Every structure is written in C-alpha cells, then in structure tokens.
Chain A
Amino acid sequence: NAGVTQTPKFQVLKTGQSMTLQCAQDMNHEYMSWYRQDPGMGLRLIHYSVGAGITDQGEVPNGYNVSRSTTEDFPLRLLSAAPSQTSVYFCASGGAGESNTGELFFGEGSRLTVL
C-alpha cells in the first residue's frame, strides 16, 4: 500500500524561485493537509482541504498556495521561496464524516532548503 506519497524528498532552492511539493494519497481520503516542521519544533498547519475543490488556511499560510482538483492530489506551491521557508514539509490525509478527527496518515516528508 502506497498510503501518502510526497515528492521530492529533498530540494534546494534559491531565494525567489518557485516550486511545487507534490502529495498524493491512494486511500480515497477526503481530508488532506500540509504541515511544516522546523528543527526542534512541532508541526504547524499550513493549509488543509476537506474535499476536492475546497481548501482553507491553517496557522501559517503566508507564502504558500494550494489547490485540490482531485481527491488524490494536494500540491503545495511556493511562489517565491524565502530562507524562512526552509523546513521539513509533511502531507497528511484522513477520513471525514461522522468521526470528526479520525486517524491522520502522514507522508515521509519533504526537506526543503532555501538559500
């Protein structure tokens, strides 16, 4: 079972460059989200989606865009990378419906360095 797949696993960018972190899940989950984790800190929610065509902001959305055109995919776009966006990014997915939280399944992470 693939679960949640993130690509790339590692990326180095220069300030001002743009890129997209890809996230795909094969569990037919309605809910998907992106977190960032800085050294020694917990995960902070960037954006989330409760279904195709629906996205919303989390705690730290500035500098990031998302879209959800299909149930499976939830890409995270950095339009103009800044050194402050150096972090490890995690994508997660989970079921929705009567259980208001359920279990979140996480990808292995994408380590981004912005020079």
Chain B
Amino acid sequence: LAKTTQPISMDSYEGQEVNITCSHNNIATNDYITWYQQFPSQGPRFIIQGYKTKVTNEVASLFIPADRKSSTLSLPRVSLSDTAVYYCLVGESDYKLSFGAGTTVTVRA
C-alpha cells in the first residue's frame, strides 16, 4: 500500500484559505489521489480526486505537482462547518485504500 503523510492538525479562522499538503513518495503510476472529509460520528465523505496538475470542484481544489510525490488540498474561505478530519488517500488498483490518521482541521470564529 502506498503510504501517505499529512500534518496531524491545523487551525484556521473563518474566511481563510486552508491548504493541507500530503506526501506520497511511493505513489504508483496508476494511482489516483483522493481526499475525504469526516465529521464526528459520521462516515468519511468524498471531496475530490485527481491524477495530476490541478482539479477543482465546488468544494475544494487539488494541486498535484509533476512528480506526483505530494498533493495539496485547498479549502477556500473556510467556515466553522469545515471543522473536520481530512484524509489523503492514494489509490491502489485493487481498491485497497488505506486511511491514515488524517489531518484535524479546526476552524475558529
């Protein structure tokens, strides 16, 4: 399984942009990078997925450099409701997705 490393926690304030960087040095050629969000007492929820360069949706942006050894999830103008744990996953071809401890993002007023 390709391992990922991301910060344990991050603090931010409402209205700021939050950037979470994930390292995945052993990413394989066919692997995708996927981010999930988890609120307390809920299952994780898909945020965004990408293979290379930049991907943007209505919730976040995902930046992936050319070497694909890292990726950065960008949450624009966060609100209190964005307080959650964010997981970076690197996908295996056989779906054995591994969730690390994730990054706990705390947004303060």
Contact = CB atoms under 8 A, between A and B. Distances in A.
Interface of A: 4, 31, 33, 35, 40-45, 48, 50, 56, 58-59, 90, 92, 94, 96, 99-101, 103-109
Given A43-B44, A45-B96, A100 B91 contact: yes
Interface pairs A-B: 8 shortest CB-CB:
A106-B43, A101-B91, A43-B99, A103-B46, A42-B99, A100-B93, A42-B101, A101-B32
Contacts of B89: 101
A61 to B, nearest CB: 12
Contacts of B41: 109
B49 interface: yes
Interface in B33-56: 34, 36, 41-46, 49
A73 to B, nearest CB: 18
A45 B30 contact: no
Nearest to B43: A106
A92 B102 CA distance: 18
* B contact residues, range: 20 to 34
Contact of A104 (B97, B100, B102): B97
B67 interface: no
**Most B CB within 10 A of own CB, among A4, A94, A103, A107:** A103
Given A58-B96, A100-B32, A103-B46, 19 more contacts: A35-B99, A40-B101, A41-B101, A42-B87, A43-B87, A45-B96, A48-B95, A59-B1, A90-B43, A100-B31, A100-B94, A101-B31, A101-B32, A101-B34, A101-B95, A103-B34, A106-B42, A109-B42, A109-B43
